[in-house]
Structure 1
Amino acid sequence: MASSFFSNPFLLPLLSLVCFSLFIESKTFVSATTRKQYIELQHITDHYHHVPVTSFFPSSTCTSPQGGSRKGWLEVVHKHGPCSKPKQHTSSSSSFIIPHSEILEQDIARVRAIQRKLWEARRQASEQDRKSTTKTSEASLDQAVAPAPAEVQLPAESGEIIGTGDYFVKVGLGTPARELSLIFDTGSALTWTQCLPCLRSDSCYTQNEPIFDPSKSSSYSNIPCPSSQCSQLFSATGNQPTCSASSGDCLYHISYGDRSFSTGNYAKETLTINPAHVVNDFLFGCGHDNGGLFNGTDGILGLSRNQISFVQQTSDIFHNIFSYCLPATATDVGYLNFGGEPPSDNVIYTPFSSIPLSSYFYTLDLNGISLAGHSLPITSSVFSSGVIIDSGTVITWLPKAAYDPLRDAFRKAMSKYPMAPPFSILDTCYDLSGQDTVIVPKVTLSFGGGANVDLDASGVLYALNETLVCLAFADNGDARFPTIIGNTQQRTLEVVYDVGGGKIGFRPHSCGGSSKFVTGVSPAIPPNPF
């Protein structure tokens, strides 16, 4: 029977044709399946971070910074990390605890202080407009000087400044130069440090380095009162300077939203960035009565747009250009650069905002937010109250009309991971116990001028411990409040401030980062949030 089958001249060609057809169909099926898998994998690679869970948490040693190639270069260290104390550079990550509750409570205080400062500036501007306008309706006047929302009607000292930041650099002060650790802050104008003698036994907090002693510097001198230099203090501190009854020297007082403060002599001194860049007659505060949450640092390096900030005082040296890269975790080291030509390679620039918020802060235009490659239903008008980028605020604070769509889409994209209870102001948290890797949807901020900036995975999730992470955004409480881009979202980006050129730039992956896509592991397809 079989032999007759194979000897049949009509059946053999038919069998060959059937076999060939089956082969082609199977190959086509495999090819289609492979193509679909490739497309899905490419989509994940383009629009998601697939990273080790351990990348969100501090490592056992401090890493060396990268990217310091321009004029004035300084290492940037987190004030709560082990890198903040040289003796701890080789300590294990379990030997220090980052006080997240304290950090986030201070963040709330800082944000409310920013809101109060801007609200007061707007109120004063409205009153000035009212005085200069003869034909203004009662309704528009009532709206112009409306009382502040409840969130910013908190007890506040006169002249309160926004609060202290998280990252510090080391500079030299005096002749000979003494090393100081100063928190650098784009929201502060006055640079100051603790000075001897302390007014009382409790007038100086504990710091890592010896307190600066102006009597041991040959280049120190106090600013007299009254003087044009002394009168500039009001715009920087919000407090009128006073005159010493005994010496006639100019005295400053500055207080912060977290109740930190400093009072002392306004003075000039030699400031050393590095041996090649020394600033003579630098104006700063020499604090003899100080207190607050500085975690061992010696004071503040003010980098705001104010006329007495470090940026403005050194404009002839560094030409109003600086940049920084904040590391992915508290055990990594970033950098702060001053001067040189504004970098252009792989930098995405956006102009300063056209919305006049304040001459104090750095402001941008934010037009929208995308998640996993999809634009969220957020119009640019949502950000009409203005957008501030700030090195001292920790997380990003959005209007409710922007935060809710982001949070809801993020939760859908992360639905395969078990949620954890909210932590402080963070309401979208996850328990990553038992996970080796995690797939995080990319968040893209779309700024003016077509500048689309992808955040690093460490800029999307805020890590609380070895297993708990939270979405690093919050609702700012009122649509009339500005959006604030915090330092978590800026991690691993080199943020370039070309103040003279009127623009800010972003260069991705400039000091490490957790967004290197895991290879050799096939990720599961994440849930579609749309």
Structure 2
Amino acid sequence: MNKLMLPLTYILLLLMIQTDDKSSSSYASPAGGNMRLKLIHSQAYALKSTYDQMERIKELVHSDIVRRGTMFSKHHQSTRRKAWEKPRTRTNCSDVSIEMPISSGRDYGTGQYFVEVKVGTPPQKMLLIADTGSELTWMSCKRRNRRRGFRPTRSSTFKTVPCSSRTCKIDFADLFSLARCPTPSTPCSYDYRYSDGSGALGIFARETVTAEITNGKGRATKVEDVVVGCTLTVQGQSFQGADGVLGLAYSNYSFATRASNMFGGTFSYCLVDHLSHKYLSNYLTFGGVGVASHSPLLSHMHYTKLDLATLSPFYAVNVKGISINGALLKIPSLIWAANRGGGTIIDSGTSLTFLTEPAYRPVVGALRWALSKRLERTRLDGGGPLEYCYKYNSTSSRLRFEETWVPRLAFHFSDGARFEPPVKSYVIDAAPGVKCLGFVSAMWPGVSVIGNIMQQNHVWEFNLVQSVLGYAPSTCTSR
């Protein structure tokens, strides 16, 4: 396949950086034991104290479009995929869970969520982008001209993968390993090239990740033999200020499946509002203790089937339709059929929600009709793919914005479950005094994507053993 059309599922940056933020919050998860990673906001790592909200929106839309075009090119062009091995949980870890901090990248000016991860022995703190569309966990390795990054020479558990090995030649082929092998002991290398001109070149290795045990009062445990990429050369703006990606896709080599294999076959996260500051944070959790210990959530949990085969390595859901104020829109059922050129995935690495054209038009048509009766339509400076934007003024009774004006949108799944996001998840703040419909049109045939803004203020639990997705509304700011 053309490396220039590499899946941007790998592109998005898993920033692994040390934080001094001591505040945290978590939620519980309905099953056995688990491991949590705190989802933290990135203000402490911001390149500037303030950012232009409009420029941020335009940048995340651009990144989303590039990402979508590249991530699905891999899925459709890959000539083979390995048979997935169902997670087999370790009995000695079944009553344990681990957690890692996770937060919005709002203060950094990005639309991703960052996870604090401790890699190597002794542990080195990294801040990575949580990406359910990426199979490989990679980070920039520190070189003489870099102030930060992972230092493999300081880790006793860093072990490279030889280029002569079957692992490099066959197993890592889908991870874009290179064929060159000057000597049998030369490390297996990779070269990611993205359609926006960005790229990452490095070597494969296996490493140890350390994480705190949920409710373990400071105790930690290790996830060993994790496949990682040590990126030596980074090109393009897509990686500016980032240390790498935390691979959470459904793959034999992703961190999500490696950690889930140890802790009950599940992982979950709770995404704070995408405009939250760093002190509002939560956790990426591996294991089932999280939701179960937060009893108020249990009565509000909804469950739907995960399709882990048709659009692998992505997490596909079986959408039946979309309703506005309880009435299903006239959208052809073919749009939602993954085996007929359509389908829908849920993706933490994409910010906005993409709908293929036959679904996009009815959805934005219904919403714009309601908003146009109250507000004046406008365009973002410089244009862009956010097609429907409206001016408002919070100090003017005539031009104020009220959520009660907005029809309630819901995703309906084929098994009867329904996901009703809050209004702020699909009518988003794009600039001071401007709100836009947070949908982007995608070409048909193609896959629709439920992005992280649509997922905000909800707990999401991925059960890889039972192929079930659980979700419930939450502030994501308290246990």
On whether the aligned pair clears a TM of 0.5, the verdict is yes
- Write the letter of the residue equivalent to 2:385: I
1:40 equivalent in structure 2? none
1:387 equivalent in structure 2? 344
Q: Is 1:112 the equivalent of 2:69?
A: yes
Q: CA deviation at 1:401?
A: 1.8
1:462 equivalent in structure 2? 428
**Separation in 1, partners of 2:44, 2:427:** 22
1:183 equivalent in structure 2? 129
Does the 8 Å contact 1:236/1:306 carry over to 2? no
Does the 8 Å contact 1:264/1:287 carry over to 2? yes
2:26 equivalent in structure 1? 67
1:82 equivalent in structure 2? 43
Q: Is 1:217 the equivalent of 2:155?
A: yes
1:498 equivalent in structure 2? 463
**Separation in 2, partners of 1:502, 1:231:** 30
Q: Percent identity?
A: 31
Q: 1:334 to 1:469 in 2, by over 3 A?
A: farther
SS of residue in 2 equivalent to 1:464:
strand
**Separation in 2, partners of 1:441, 1:323:** 29
2:201 equivalent in structure 1? 263
Does the 8 Å contact 1:241/1:253 carry over to 2? no
The superposition leaves residues 374-428 of structure 1 with CA deviations (integer Å, 9 ceiling, x where unpaired) of 2212243332211111111121111222111111111122121111126411111
> Gaps (5+ residues) in structure 1?
1-61, 126-163, 514-530
1:13 equivalent in structure 2? none
Selected match of 2:448 from 462, 483, 503: 483
Larger relative helix fraction: 1
**Separation in 1, partners of 2:137, 2:314:** 16
**Separation in 1, partners of 2:205, 2:77:** 29
Does the 8 Å contact 1:367/1:379 carry over to 2? no
Does the 8 Å contact 2:259/2:286 carry over to 1? no
- Write the letter of the residue equivalent to 1:368: G
Does the 8 Å contact 1:262/1:289 carry over to 2? yes
TM-score by length of 1: 0.68
- Write the letter of the residue equivalent to 1:279: V
**Separation in 2, partners of 1:346, 1:192:** 36
The superposition leaves residues 68-105 of structure 1 with CA deviations (integer Å, 9 ceiling, x where unpaired) of 44632222245xx53544x98xx6x6798862222111
Selected match of 1:304 from 240, 249, 255: 249
**Separation in 2, partners of 1:463, 1:233:** 44
Q: CA deviation at 1:510?
A: 4.2
**Separation in 2, partners of 1:65, 1:374:** 39
TM-score by length of 2: 0.75
Q: Is 1:349 the equivalent of 2:303?
A: yes
2:138 equivalent in structure 1? 192
The superposition leaves residues 226-255 of structure 1 with CA deviations (integer Å, 9 ceiling, x where unpaired) of 224324553542444543548422222223
Q: Is 1:276 the equivalent of 2:214?
A: no
Does the 8 Å contact 1:352/1:362 carry over to 2? yes
Does the 8 Å contact 1:82/1:331 carry over to 2? no
SS of residue in 1 equivalent to 2:239:
coil
**Separation in 1, partners of 2:247, 2:323:** 33
SS of residue in 2 equivalent to 1:328:
coil
**Separation in 2, partners of 1:456, 1:241:** 48
Q: 1:258 to 1:506 in 2, by over 3 A?
A: farther
Q: 1:304 to 1:374 in 2, by over 3 A?
A: same
**Separation in 2, partners of 1:108, 1:95:** 20
**Separation in 2, partners of 1:491, 1:337:** 16
Q: CA deviation at 1:179?
A: 0.5
**Separation in 2, partners of 1:99, 1:178:** 30
- Write the letter of the residue equivalent to 2:117: V
- Write the letter of the residue equivalent to 1:101: K
SS of residue in 2 equivalent to 1:279:
strand
**Separation in 2, partners of 1:241, 1:84:** 37
Matches within 5 A, 1:31-70: 66-69=25-28
**Separation in 1, partners of 2:439, 2:192:** 29
Q: Is 1:243 the equivalent of 2:204?
A: no
**Separation in 2, partners of 1:260, 1:233:** 25
**Separation in 2, partners of 1:294, 1:247:** 29
Which gives a bigger RCO, structure 1 or 2 (Cα 8 Å, sep 6+)?
2
SS of residue in 1 equivalent to 2:157:
coil
Q: CA deviation at 1:314?
A: 2.3
SS of residue in 2 equivalent to 1:243:
coil
